[in-house]
């Protein structure tokens, strides 16, 4: 993205005013009107085009910026399609339901908050969606905590921490795929590199919740029993259902490209599904496109399992292409370059670039309240400074997740913050002090950046 040639050199004041207007359009639409980000981004694109035309830039030049910006996300688009197929095929094979069932079997009265964190982490990893984890398993767990007269704020913190750990580290997660694709890093290399900050954050969070867990008797297990019963009724819980997961892990270790790994695991899942499903080819293809639909009759279980398919990725793909097109215009009009030049003197050290990119990701979350834009805009703006210092792209993709993906639920007016509050009935400010994983991740990524530990440099650096 940073290689897009600028056709204009705006003044610093013009650049700041335009960015402020764009932020105001997008943030007000999302925060106050609860609108999807697509339309306000499109309006922002229109604003930038009008600015370019006023500055006597030809429409063809502006269109070139749009196309080049969108083109930077085509690898992500193909990955998203395969992610949708993988999720639906893993539903057919029983891989995801089996992993979820295993997670529920971990519930014990000892170390309740720590166990909640582990369960939501497992389920978040299994389905790759933090909000789905919160809206299904999270609701069940918060009900149990209420019945046991435990702190709902701490419980919500454990749910959010686990759900966003899963969202951050799952190869099924759209944010994980987006972060790796934007900077051109292999998906599984990105996940491995995130382990340097994520594993310490996970272990510290687990210790904190373990120490905070009271000694209780787990009497009210009706919600958990209902989930387990519903999962068994699907007929998808089998030992061999983990084979597609093993294929994914094996190919990842062998460093097979992400797209081929996802495709191979999907094929393995379809083959495994033949052991307990008798779907026709047309039905299977329909599921791969439209997603798996659960029909157990248990609303919570059906909500958890009805997902996947190429069609489920259209929302994210549309957002990615629009946001990248807007980024292409911002670079074509020289706006991003103008802003970066103003702080270029501060970006000559590795530590300062890491801190600046982390603060940008956090700032976009706070100003706009959208985690996708936090990842996209940070990635677009800082690819150049990272490359100049010889830093490998995976350093930037890690910062984008550590300070972008997991920070969104901590902002009360953000998309995730509003959703979690409405679903769990616990305000963002109440659970924020206990969302340890989300709080620790940006701190650790900044500390590692300042110390230089775990950073990777390009061979020609």
Higher confidence at residue 268 or residue 381? 268
Structure tokens at 118: 């582990």
Higher confidence at residue 278 or residue 273? 273
> How would residue 419 be classed by pLDDT, with cut points 50, 70 and 90?
confident
* 13-69 confidence digits (pLDDT tens): 998 899 899 888 988 887 788 778 889 889 999 999 999 999 999 999 999 989 888
User: Which phi and psi angles does 297 have, rounded to 5°?
Assistant: 90, -10
**Does residue 292 sit in helix, strand or coil?**
strand
Whole-prediction pTM value? Answer: 0.74
pLDDT over 90 at 70, yes or no? no
Cα torsion 347, 348, 349, 350 to 10°: value is 70
> How would residue 223 be classed by pLDDT, with cut points 50, 70 and 90?
low
* Element at 346 (helix H, strand E): none
Q: Which of 3, 389, 400, 359 is nearest to 185 (CA)?
A: 400
Q: How many CB atoms lie within 10 A of CB 204?
A: 14
pLDDT over 60 at 237, yes or no? yes
Reading phi first (left if > 0) and then psi (alpha if -120 to 50, else beta), residue 148 is in alpha
Q: Which of 86, 42, 21, 94 is nearest to 276 (CA)?
A: 94
**Does residue 188 sit in helix, strand or coil?**
helix
Q: Give the list of residues 6+ apart from residue 283 with CB closer than 8 angstroms, or none.
A: none
Higher confidence at residue 35 or residue 426? 426
DSSP 307: B
Of 168-172, 410-414, 427-431, 432-436, the one with minimum mean pLDDT is: 410-414
Q: Give the list of residues 6+ apart from residue 257 with CB closer than 8 angstroms, or none.
A: 186
Q: Give the list of residues 6+ apart from residue 346 with CB closer than 8 angstroms, or none.
A: 352, 356
H runs (alpha helix) in 94-186:
95-104, 112-127, 130-133, 139-147, 152-169, 174-182
pLDDT at residue number 161:
96
Is residue 126 within 8 Å of residue 166, measured between CB atoms?
yes
Higher confidence at residue 442 or residue 249? 442
pLDDT at residue number 50:
95
Q: Which of 103, 98, 114, 109 is nearest to 144 (CA)?
A: 109
Separation between Cα atoms, residue 100 and residue 123, nearest integer Å: 6
Separation between Cα atoms, residue 377 and residue 341, nearest integer Å: 16
* 107-129 confidence digits (pLDDT tens): 666 788 998 999 899 888 887 87
* 139-191 confidence digits (pLDDT tens): 767 867 775 678 899 999 999 999 999 989 988 888 898 889 888 888 899 99
> How would residue 306 be classed by pLDDT, with cut points 50, 70 and 90?
confident
């Amino acid at each position: 993205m940073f290689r897009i040639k600028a056709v204009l050199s705006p003044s610093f004041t013009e650049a700041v005013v335009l960015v402020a207007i764009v932020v105001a359009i997008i943030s007000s639409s999302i925060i106050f009107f609860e609108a999807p980000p697509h339309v306000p981004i499109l309006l922002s694109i229109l604003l930038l085009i009008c600015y370019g035309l006023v500055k006597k830039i030809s429409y063809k030049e502006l269109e070139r910026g749009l196309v080049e910006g969108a083109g930077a996300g085509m690898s992500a688009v193909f990955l998203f399609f395969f992610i949708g197929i993988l999720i639906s095929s893993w539903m057919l094979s029983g891989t995801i339901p089996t992993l979820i069932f295993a997670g529920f079997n971990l519930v014990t009265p000892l170390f309740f908050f720590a166990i909640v964190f582990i369960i939501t982490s497992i389920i978040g990893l299994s389905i790759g969606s933090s909000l789905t984890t919160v809206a299904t398993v999270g609701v069940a767990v918060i009900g149990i905590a209420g019945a046991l007269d435990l702190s709902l704020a701490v419980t919500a913190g454990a749910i959010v921490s686990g759900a966003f750990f899963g969202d951050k580290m799952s190869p099924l997660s759209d944010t994980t795929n987006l972060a790796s694709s934007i900077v051109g890093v292999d998906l599984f290399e990105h996940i491995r590199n995130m382990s340097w900050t994520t594993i310490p954050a996970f272990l510290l969070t687990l210790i904190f919740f373990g120490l905070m867990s009271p000694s209780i008797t787990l009497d009210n297990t009706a919600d958990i029993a209902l989930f387990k019963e519903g999962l068994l009724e699907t007929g998808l819980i089998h030992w061999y259902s983990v084979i597609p997961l093993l294929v994914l892990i094996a190919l990842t270790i062998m460093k097979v490209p992400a797209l081929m790994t996802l495709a191979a695991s999907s094929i393995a899942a379809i083959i495994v599904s033949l052991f307990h499903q008798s779907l026709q080819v047309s039905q299977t293809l329909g599921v791969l496109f439209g997603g798996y639909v659960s029909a157990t009759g248990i609303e919570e279980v059906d909500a958890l399992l009805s997902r996947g398919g190429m069609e489920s990725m259209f929302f994210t793909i549309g957002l990615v292409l629009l946001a990248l097109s807007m980024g292409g215009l911002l670079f074509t009009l020289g706006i991003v370059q103008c802003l970066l030049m103003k702080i270029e003197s501060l970006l000559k050290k590795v530590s300062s670039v890491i801190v600046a990119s982390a603060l940008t990701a956090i700032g976009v979350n706070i100003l706009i309240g959208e985690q996708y834009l936090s990842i996209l805009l940070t990635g677009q703006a800082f690819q150049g400074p990272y490359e100049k210092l010889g830093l490998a792209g995976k350093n930037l993709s890690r910062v984008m997740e550590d300070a972008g993906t997991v920070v969104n639920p901590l902002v009360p007016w953000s998309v995730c913050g509003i959703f979690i509050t409405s679903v769990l009935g616990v305000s963002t400010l109440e659970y924020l002090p206990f969302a340890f994983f989300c709080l620790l991740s940006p701190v650790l990524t900044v500390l590692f950046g300042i110390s230089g530990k775990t950073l990777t440099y390009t061979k020609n650096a």
